[in-house]
Amino acid sequence: MHSSDHIDSTLLPTISKFVLDRQGLAYFCVSHQGVVQAMSANLIDYGFATTKVGDQVEDSIDFMVGLDLQSELELPLIASPSGMPVTVCLIPDESKMLVLVSDASRVAADRQQLQQQANDNELLVYQQNKLMAQLEQAQAELKQKNSQLKEASRLQTSFISGVSHEFRTPLTSIIGYTDLLQNNAHKHNDVDADNYVVAVQRSSRHLLSLVENLLDHGKLDAEELVIRPKPTLLTEVFDDLRFMLMPLADAKGIELAISQLNDLQTLSVVVDDSRLRQCLINIVGNAVKFTDQGKVDVQVSWKHDWLSVTVRDTGPGIAKEHLEKVLLPFWQGGDSAKAGTGLGLTITSRLLELMGGELTIDSTLELGTTVSFALPAPQAPSLAKQQQQENRGLDGLRLLLAEDDPDIALLLCYLLEEKGAQVAHVGNGELAVSAAMRGTFDLILMDIQMPIMTGYQAIEQLNKLGYNTPIVVMSASNIDADRSTAETLGCAAYLLKPVDINDIALVVDQVLAAPDHSAES
């Protein structure tokens, strides 16, 4: 030991509190001149092995260098001469400085742990910031891809619409001229010619249904398809279905039976008639296509404002493992010779959903398939008077027809004049504006896609000039945006090609009969 193992009695009052509060304390006493006067025997345990009584404290203990030996001070964590972590308290009195030393290993460990946690937190923050940057980049890329997908979807819809328009234009001519041929064949009792014309009509209408399915698939994907319910005579819908599909069934030697309750003969309901026809053609057409022997039976009922249709066939049926696939886009059965677009049932199911209905399919392999659906169809006022308009005339009406396709223009002029109208024809929008401002017309029939000036541009120009004669759009475009544009421009009606002459006559009558010269189609 270097000196006394006991604290000077004069210091006891000063350090008694520390002794009571802390255990294992070591100490040394330094004069105001910096000389070590006394030290405890256990000071060596704290790493002060080289310190001796009589030494200048600054020579043996580095942390004492420069300290004011008359001021109280606490150093929570410093290194002893041997590097051991210690806590040091300096307690001065009138002639001395008492330096208390205690083990600070736990404080050092705690501080090291805190430092480690701080380092870990800093690393975590860095990683978090890095992940956030990656997330923001991923979100930006996702946003860009979404934008690209939306643009691709828009381009696809635009492409399909364009393709549809290109199909509809010649189909308008084909269906219109075959109607004329059929009328002439009936007049001359030419059975063979009549059969040939019916075959052309059937193929044309089948092609038209394929075009509709293609277009509607794109519109359903883009969520752009709108249901337009209107009063509809049910017997007409099912008569059209029979007219279109009966020749196909007869050609295959199978029976097509469409049975409906007697009270449906004059029943008018509020539905989207074109979509209902499309669903029926898809379902019954599929049944006829895949049935080679036996029968296709169509049962129709209406009760409590709901229309129910069940189609049963004796075809090959569908295996259970394939039932869930039949509604997938482009899925087709195993018979490649009878494959179509693979869109019919997919579109039908989604159309029925949009109309508030539901499609169900039940099938047994080698026994046949049953397809059913039900949809809301509230009763509408009688359409008997409207149906009489089929043979209405357009006697004396002065019509301006703006149509760039010469075949369609020739056909429409003939049909309209046969109804008694006086028709002036122009081939583009610019000529339509000039003719409208120069002449006097009761109504304008306006195509949309025309050279030099489109139909919409012509209508805009006429609106600016204060022209107020009603305009009915006749277009091959079934895109809702085109219909909305027509409504925005104040068009009286929108007719979709191919259009029947009786539909034109009916719409013209409605438009001209309306007080404000406006009608819906």
Q: What is the pLDDT of residue 2?
A: 44
The CA-based dihedral angle spanning residues 430, 434, 440, 444, taken in that order and rounded to the nearest 10 degrees: 0
Q: What is the pLDDT of residue 389?
A: 47
Length of the chain: 521
| Distance (Å, whole) CA 517 – CA 509 | 10
Contact 371, 377 (CB under 8 A): no
Q: What is the pLDDT of residue 155?
A: 65
Q: What is the pLDDT of residue 161?
A: 60
The kind and range of the H/E element at 103 are: strand 96-103
How buried is residue 73: exposed, middle or buried, by Cβ count under 10 Å (0-12/13-18/19+)?
middle
Q: What is the pLDDT of residue 226?
A: 73
Cis peptide before 378 (omega within 30 of 0): no
Q: What is the pLDDT of residue 202?
A: 62
Q: What is the pLDDT of residue 225?
A: 67
Q: Token pair of 325, please?
A: 């696939």
Q: What is the pLDDT of residue 78?
A: 86
| Distance (Å, whole) CA 246 – CA 162 | 31
Measure the CA angle with vertex 185, ends 180 and 191; round to 5°: 140
SS3 of 430-459: the string is: HHHHHHHHHCCCCEEEECCCCCCCCHHHHH
Taking alpha carbons only, the member of 5, 10, 37, 43 closest to residue 24 is 43
Q: What is the pLDDT of residue 124?
A: 87
Taking alpha carbons only, the member of 355, 386, 384 closest to residue 519 is 386
Q: What is the pLDDT of residue 20?
A: 38
Q: What is the pLDDT of residue 62?
A: 83
Beta strands, E only, 404-517: 422-426, 443-446, 471-475, 493-496
Taking alpha carbons only, the member of 32, 24, 38 closest to residue 64 is 32
Q: What is the pLDDT of residue 206?
A: 61
Measure the CA angle with vertex 511, ends 509 and 517; round to 5°: 140
What's at 322, amino acid-wise? H
What share of residues in the chain are helix, strand, coil (percent, to 5)?
Answer: 50, 20, 30
Q: Token pair of 514, please?
A: 């309306």
- Return the exposure string of 119-129: e unless at least 16 CB atoms fall within 10 Å of the residue's CB, then b: eeeeeeeeeee
User: In this structure, how many other beta carbons lie within 10 angstroms of the beta carbon of residue 334?
Assistant: 10
Domains of the chain with bracketed CATH: 9-103 (3.30.450), 229-376 (3.30.565.10), 391-513 (3.40.50.2300)
Mean pLDDT by 10 residues, the chain (521 residues): 46 48 75 88 84 88 85 87 87 87 85 86 88 90 85 65 62 70 69 65 66 63 70 86 85 88 76 88 89 93 92 89 69 51 73 91 90 92 53 80 89 88 94 95 93 94 94 83 88 85 85 62 43
pTM for this predicted structure: 0.51
Q: What is the pLDDT of residue 467?
A: 94
DSSP, res 56 = B
Q: What is the pLDDT of residue 163?
A: 60
| Distance (Å, whole) CA 386 – CA 379 | 16
Rg for the chain, CA atoms, rounded: 47
